[in-house]
Structure 1
């Protein structure tokens, strides 16, 4: 009798243990079906949700979005906020129509304040490097001589201004004449040359110390050097020692 009671207790314990294990497995299966991302396992492996959208694309914000005005006119968007198709029928130098599309996460409207994705813009048919100098900004080094014969050139990196539309790369190299200034005034140099040129004041002002000392101790070359400097500074042939332009 005792043996039967002991066997029944063991069977009851096994049944309870199996029941608790079954409930635990059922609970784990329910959580795996509800938690995390929705959609199929294949979509999880691709990083997509139940609508088929790429999760990494919806959470990341492109860098250009911060520079694109929100809910403004599509035709006034900066060029980096849109993608345009090349119009192969346009004639160089003449106005042409280009079909464009607002980039991802860029929101714009038309004249009636309706959300718009595709639109057209009017611009001149020309490449960016063919634009007039007022439409782009270039680097300006200070290691080339602006006053020299022949005039020196330098290789500059130019970038088109944000509101200008053009074809091709918006950043391009260009050979330009040296045109930087160190802050020296032509009027001041000429006035010093006329009044105090005999003491080398004009040369000292332009940073030419050796020539200034030469004029100082020679009394302006007995007046001849002074007269020559007045002419050379007047026509702009003699400039600042750093090679910059007058202002």
Structure 2
């Protein structure tokens, strides 16, 4: 009788233990569905922005950023911005990402370089960019005897001198854009190890 009671209690304990282990596994392995914006690379694909032919910048550029549509991969489940979970087939837009864009106002980089190269000694490049005083100075001094013309050509070609209104040149979207790197207070400087 005691042996039968011990068997029943052991069987009950094993049954309870196996239920507890399976419940714990489902609790640990169940991942909470995260927001679509937190998907990892490879789990989504963002579309290329639509480029305006006149400005060569994304069409919906506001405050130096443009929004592009991102499509989660097929069979990916994530939470939309309204809080609902959705399983994607690869064709639906899940979220939007921002891409940088520039402020342009109509000054073409190609035109500025061509004017600087061929008519820079007359100051045409400076007139075009909105610097009439420097244009008159270059015209009256015949381009500072060639040195000023060469210097202006290099500065315009390197995009160091831009339009006078502070905007950027119109450069082909996949063209020769230069990005300036600058050291600020937030720049991390690696300390030198003394030997």
TM over 0.5: no
The structure with more radius of gyration? 1
Q: TM-score, normalised by structure 2?
A: 0.43
Q: TM-score, normalised by structure 1?
A: 0.35
